Amino acid sequence: MVSVKELERWMGTGQVSKKLGRSRQGVINLAVDKKLRAVHVGGAYADGKGVWIYDPDSVEDFANKQERKD
């Protein structure tokens, strides 16, 4: 379970998009596919409403794995 204190440091889709060099939709797809630890807040997935927030440690781990592949 994620605490409110922990969520304060989580990142938005735009921030993750810039960090990983991917489109916003590409980042959301990574969350849906559970390749990034993320939480969808305030709306249903299909209607496009609400926001995604991402665990910065998960984003960093993903970025490091991508660097090793290159």
Residues 14-45 pLDDT 10s: 999 999 999 999 999 999 999 999 998 877 66
Name the fold adopted by 4-69.
Answer: Multidrug-efflux Transporter Regulator; Chain: A; Domain 2 (1.10.1660)
Q: What is the DSSP secondary-structure string of 50-63?
A: SEEEE-HHHHHHHH
Query: What is the pLDDT confidence band of residue 48, given thresholds at 50, 70 and 90?
Result: low
How do the domains of the chain map onto residue ranges? 4-69
